[in-house]
Amino acid sequence: MSTCKFCGSSQLVPFSAEERMFGLGTEFTYSECQECYSLQLEDIPQDLAKYYSGEYYSFTGLTYSASLKNIIKQLRMKVFLTSGWKVFQPSYGAWLLKLNLSYSDRIADVGCGNGQLLYELSVSGFKDLHGFDPFMEQTKQINSALKLWKKSIEEAEMKFDVIMMHQISFEHMEDPALKS
């Protein structure tokens, strides 16, 4: 790579780093752009799957909640969305209020990991939820409201009202600007 993928600058400073999460010992060369300070991987491996295996932190099991607890979660969401009262705000975010969602909105989560956030939304009353991650084990229907797809968002043949990305998924995308 001779120019920055993002801003086109030629001021790239390369350095190498070893894969440590799984201890595979692979060395990767990264470049830091001196203009926009973005970090980019020089040669993206053909097969990324082994770096996102079952032990990857985001693929640990989904925690299901009992039906009584789900009734409480539904009530809490309803009160929160209508009143905006902070005491009812779910731990995962005030952003829900700002989006002014309706329960039937189709929501996608890019890089959904085990799907826990979407699961919480599903038991709180949202009805059309889709998680995307090309590295999950398999496509799974979690409940009537939630499906986790083993594919990337670019491969989805659906339109969404909301597309969310949490815990920074940009650095995991081969083409973050979605130019292709």
Strand order in the sheet with 27-33: 12-18, 27-33, 39-41
Residues 130-149 that bind Zn ion (CB under 5 A): none
- The answer to whether 122 and 145 have CB atoms below 8 angstroms apart is yes
> Is residue 9 part of the contact set for Zn ion (CB under 5 A)?
yes
> Is residue 4 part of the contact set for Zn ion (CB under 5 A)?
yes
Nearer to Zn ion, 68 or 168 (CB): 168
Of the candidate spans 5-13, 18-26, 125-133, 164-172, the one that interacts with Zn ion by CB under 5 A turns out to be 5-13
Structure token digits, residue 160: 């969404």
C-alpha distances (whole Å) from 108 to each of 22, 65, 145 are 29, 21, 12
Nearer to Zn ion, 26 or 29 (CB): 29
> Is residue 7 part of the contact set for Zn ion (CB under 5 A)?
yes
- Half-sphere exposure for 111 (CA within 13 Å, toward CB): 15
Output the smallest distance, CB 9 to Zn ion, in A. Answer: 5
Nearer to Zn ion, 36 or 75 (CB): 36
User: What is the per-residue DSSP string for 84-96?
Assistant: --GGG--TT-SHH
> Is residue 33 part of the contact set for Zn ion (CB under 5 A)?
yes
Of the candidate spans 3-11, 13-21, 75-83, 144-152, the one that interacts with Zn ion by CB under 5 A turns out to be 3-11
Of the candidate spans 17-25, 35-43, 119-127, 154-162, the one that interacts with Zn ion by CB under 5 A turns out to be 35-43
Output the smallest distance, CB 10 to Zn ion, in A. Answer: 9
> In 111-137, which positions are buried (b, 16+ CB within 10 angstroms) versus exposed (e)?
bbbbbbbbbbbbbbbbebbbbbbbbbe
CA distance 109 to 117: 9
Output the smallest distance, CB 178 to Zn ion, in A. Answer: 18
- Site residues (vs Zn ion, CB under 5 A): 4, 6-7, 9, 33, 35-36
